[in-house]
Structure formats: C-alpha cells, structure tokens
Structure 1
Amino acid sequence: MSLVVPALAWAHAEPVAQQAPGWTLSPGILIPLAFSLLLYVSGAARLFQRAHGGRGLLRRRAMLFAAGWLILAAAVVSPLHEAGESSFTLHMIEHEVLMLVAAPLLVLARPLETMLWAWPGPARKVIGGWVHSSALQSSWRFLSGAVTATLLQAAALWLWHGPILFELALAHDGWHIAQHLSFLISALLFWSAMFHNKRAHGGRGLAVLCLFATSVISGALGALMAFSQSPWYPRYAALGLAPFGLTPVEDQQLAGLLMWIPGGLVHAAAALILLAALLRDSTETISKTPRFPATDPSIRDAGI
C-alpha cells in the first residue's frame, strides 16, 4: 500500500518548476559545524604545544579530522543538500557521503579526545569526571557494542527511508535536520564500534561479521528501491522529471543502486581490511608463542 499511494500521487501530479540549488546557510547547521571546528582547533593547538614525541600522531589525526569535517560540511551546506530536495539520487549521495565517508574519517581522528583540551583545566576535570562516571561508561559500552551499533544504524536507515518519515524530512527543515543527525550519529557509533573495539565486545572478528551484515542490510534496502517500478515518495513524484532528465522511478532506481552497490562495497572493503588485521594479529601471536626444541633434555626426559 505504501508503494501504491506514491504511484497514484505521481500519476495525478503536475510537474513543479525547479530552481537552481543554492548553498544552505541555516544557523542550525552552521553553528554546530563552526563550534566543533573551533573546539578541535583550540584543543589541537594546546596539545601540539605540550606534545613532543607524539606530534606525528597529532598531525595525522588533524588531517583525518580536517578531511572528515570538510566533507561533512560540503554535504550539508553545499548545493548538493538543496539539490537533494528535487532528486532522490542526489539526496542519496548526500546520505552516503555522510555515513560512508565523513563518519569513518571523523572516527579515525578521535576528535573528542582533542576537543577536551579546548576547555580550561577545571572544566576538563569536570568533563573528565562525568565521562568516566559508571553510568556514562556503561551506556557507552552498550551503545558502542558492535551488534548494538549495527542494529541502530540499520534501524535509522530503514525507518528514515520509509515513505512517511522521508516525506516529513522533505517537508520540514526540523525533521530534515533530525534525519541527518540520526544518520550521522548512528554512523559515528557504528564506525567507532568497528574501528576502536579491538578486544571488547568480541573484537575484530565480530566487527567483520557486522560489516558484512551491514552490507547485506543496506544492500537489501537499495535493491528494493532499484527494482521498484513505482516511486515511493509523493514529493519527488510531484516534481515530474528529476535533474538529468530522469523520471521519478528512474531517479529512485539509480538512488537504490548507489545504496546497494557502492555502499555495500565500502562495508565489504572495511570488513576485508579488518579481517586482514585480524589474521596478521593471529600470525604475530603464533610467532611469539614459545617453542621448545626437541633436543631440550627436560623435554626429552619427560617423554615428549
């Protein structure tokens, strides 16, 4: 039924004139972006002054943060964001950039550790005490578990791409911001669980399984879109032709292919990288295991 209603809306809708997309300069987006950048730059500057041998690591993390922040800002501020209101394909590209490019780069940069140093000493102690509280630690262990993070990201993907919630996001800026926040936060939790829980929650082996599972979960949603013969979202259907001359159905099918194939490949590639690291760690562990020569008298006398 959810697919029939959008199809009927498309059949009876008149194409809407489209304007060239512009930059999104909403304070609700610009202020958090600017504040996060200010915190990171201030913290990184203070750490760099104090550090000596670890400056190379700080530089690498700063480069990762800069790349992730710039890509995130480009996705939500550049004309790509506004263009997504007239093309589901462009909207999907924005989501993929947020979740598959910006989020893992930001996670690898470990920005919260650096941002903490932007605050004065007394404030750092208060924040540090709060962060290390048992309640927050327990919540973080639960949320950053590989299985929990995988389920949260999958729920965000499937629920927000349902016609009802997606239409709300297209029609209201507040819901649109909530949609992107849920995508970004769930992706940050997911990639944190994949990259930073080497020993906890089952370690890298469980992360590999969750990455492969995510490629299947997101791929299944993309496949449904790619094979659908009717548009899911009335707002896109009412626009008539999407940019590049695509019909609403073709636009949706292309968006589904982007979620299905490139999205699945990113998760599969990350799984293979972690699997290689897991095998390397196993090999190193085996190589460090003590070996007793057969000529050792104690071994020979014991009958081994």
Structure 2
Amino acid sequence: MRAVRLAGWAMLVAAVPAWAHDTGAPHDEPPGWTLDPLILLPLLLAAGAFAVGWRRLSRRSRLGETGLRRSAGRFGTGWLVLAGALLSPLHEAGERSFAAHMFEHELIMLLAAPLLVLSRPLAVMLWAFPAGPRKRIGALAAAPVVHGAWRTLSAPVFATVAQAAALWLWHAPALFDRALSGSGWHAAQHLSFLVTALLFWSAMFARRTAPGIAALCLIVTSIVSGALGALMAFAESPWYAGYARFAFAPFGLSPVEDQQIAGLLMWVPGGLVHAGAALVIVRRLLRPAHA
C-alpha cells in the first residue's frame, strides 16, 4: 500500500491546485467568493473520486466499515477546509491583506493537509477506477523507482527540510513579491506549500517513522516556522511591496500592522499545532514505560 502513495498524492495535488489570488476584482470592494473553474472543478473531481471509491469499498466489505467512516469524516473535513480556504472570501481578501493571505496558508498547511493525510484517501480513490486501470496504477506505484522515490520524499528529515525551505524561500521579499505579481509564480508558491505540507504530515504519521524522530522533526518545525513568524511580528517596516502599496489594509490596519498580525498567525498557531502534535507522539512513546 505504501507504494501507491507517491502516485496517489501526485493525483490528489493535481486534482486540488492552489492557484494565485489575483482575480482581477477591485480592491475597494468587499471580497467575494472565488468560483474559478480551475479551482472548483478539481476540488469536485477529488471529492467525486473519493466518494465513488468509498462507496465501492463499503459495498465490497463490511469488515472495515468503522475505518471507512473515520476516513470519510477526516477527508470530508479536510476537503471542506481546503475548499473554504480557496473558494471563500478569504481567498480574495488575500489580495489586499497579508494577514488574510497567511491565514489561508495556515488553514491549508496546518489543518487541511494533516486531515487529508490522516484520512488515507489514496487507496479509496484508487477504487474509483475500473478494475483494469486500477491494477495498472497499482503496478506503476509498486515499481521500484516510484516506491524508492516515495520513501525518499516522505523520509521525515527530508520532508521537514523541504517544508522549512519552502516557507523561508517563498517568504523572502524578492520571491514573495514575484508571486504576488505573477499568477504562475503564485500558483507555484501555493502548490509548493501544499505539496511540502502533505509530504511532511505523511512522514510524521507514517508507521515506519520512529516516534522520537517524528517528535524531533515537529519541534524543529515549530521553531523554524515560529522564528520566521516572530521576525515578521517584530518588524517595523513592511517586507513586501505588493502589500505596502495599500495605505491601509482591511479594518484600518497599516501595512506594518497587517504584517505583524500575519507573523503572529504563523508564529503562535503554527507553533502550537506542531508542538502539540509532538507532545501527543511523546506521550504515546512514554506510555509503555508507565503502564
């Protein structure tokens, strides 16, 4: 089953693209819903594939009914969070507010991604295909090259470094301003956040990852992302020209205040989620010693 994951995550990411914020809407109007077919249709495709696969599996066997219901609940919640981040007015609000932009990223990386990983949707989605294509996809995923690539990409240290690199590189002023000014760059930014978050949480939840290693990677991620958020929170001047051009952000905030709130959103919730997950893993690791 592990061999299916790399090909499956590629399918899921391709089905749920996180495109740029620039919708062309006037910035003096209240943000509205983003019903872009390039976002809406792939989201519906991912949901449809999971629903069809889940129905076939549930009809095939009742032995895993509880697990299937749990998987559906987690996938549904993660899908709703991801869809809300990409389609709701929050998505368009990110055009003019760095804090709104950051909140969208946090929803994708800290809530949607781990829920999608915990739902283990790839095996379920595989059953949406007819028997012939399903076997061919499974054989492709089991190929040594694909399986080896997945083990490398989902290794805890690699996934941790990849996510940290994506966060720090894309928040460098030059790259971030480039992403704000070009839809292709912005799509690459969002996709890199989603992909690295999926890889990171896959590594943290993998059975082959030692609990101590997972806890250490989570703590390191909490420190690395928290440090970046703290730098933003304590900055006295705006980092990004794309947001600095607005005299006042929503709610009467200046660009610096808007950036400071964005930094706090990265620093505090991000740190709490990663540190909390590390504590849960450490508790499980120590439980046998106190039994």
The normalised TM-score by structure 2 is: 0.88
Query: 1:268 aligns to what?
Result: 275
Letter of the 1:110 partner, please give it: R
**Pairing partner for 1:141 from 138, 151, 168:** 151
Is 1:228 aligned to residue 228 of structure 2? no
Give, in whole Å, the separation in 1 of the partners of 2:168 and 2:65.
42
Determine the structure 2 residue equivalent to 1:301.
Answer: none
Instruction: Summarize deviations over 1:15-70 as a string: whole Å, max 9, x none.
Output: x9622111112222122211111110110000010121210110010000000001
Which amino acid in structure 2 is aligned with residue 217 of structure 1? V
5 Å-filtered alignment, 1:54-203, equals 54-196=64-206, 198-200=207-209, 203=210
Distance 2:72 2:118 in 1: 10
* Deviation >6 Å, runs of 4+: none
5+ long unaligned stretches in structure 1: 1-15, 288-304
Q: Deviations over 1:52-104 (max 9, x none)?
A: 12101100100000000010000011110110111100100000000000000
Change over 3 Å in CA distance of 1:256–1:180 after alignment to 2: same
Deviation digits for residues 187-241 of structure 1 (CA, Å, limit 9, x no counterpart): 0100010012x334xx111000000000000001001101111101111111110
Runs of 5+ unmatched residues, structure 2: 1-25
Distance 1:276 1:17 in 2: 48
Shift of 1:172: 2.3
Identity of aligned residues (%): 59
Count residues with an aligned counterpart: 266
**Is the Cα–Cα contact under 8 Å of residues 143 and 149 in structure 1 kept in the other structure?**
yes
Tell me if the contact between 2:27 and 2:96 (Cα under 8 Å) persists in the aligned partners.
no
Work out the CA distance in 2 between the residues paired with 1:96 and 1:220: 15
Residue identity in the other structure for 1:56: T
Q: Secondary structure at the match of 2:127?
A: helix
For residues 128 and 148 of structure 1, the distance between their equivalents in structure 2, rounded to whole angstroms, comes to 25
Q: In the alignment, is the contact (CA less than 8 A) between 1:17 and 1:239 conserved in 2? A: no
The Cα RMSD (Å) is 1.4
Distance 1:17 1:111 in 2: 38
Largest Rg, 1 or 2: 1
Pair 1:44-2:44 in alignment: no
* TM value normalised by structure 1: 0.85
Report deviation, 1:175: 2.2
SS of alignment partner, residue 101 of structure 1: helix
**Structure 1 residues 39 and 231, CA gap change in structure 2 (3 angstroms):** same
What aligned pairs does 1:292-303 form with structure 2 within 5 A after superposition?
none
Aligned partner of residue 118 in structure 1, secondary structure = coil
Whether contact under 8 Å (2:31, 2:93) holds in the other structure is: yes
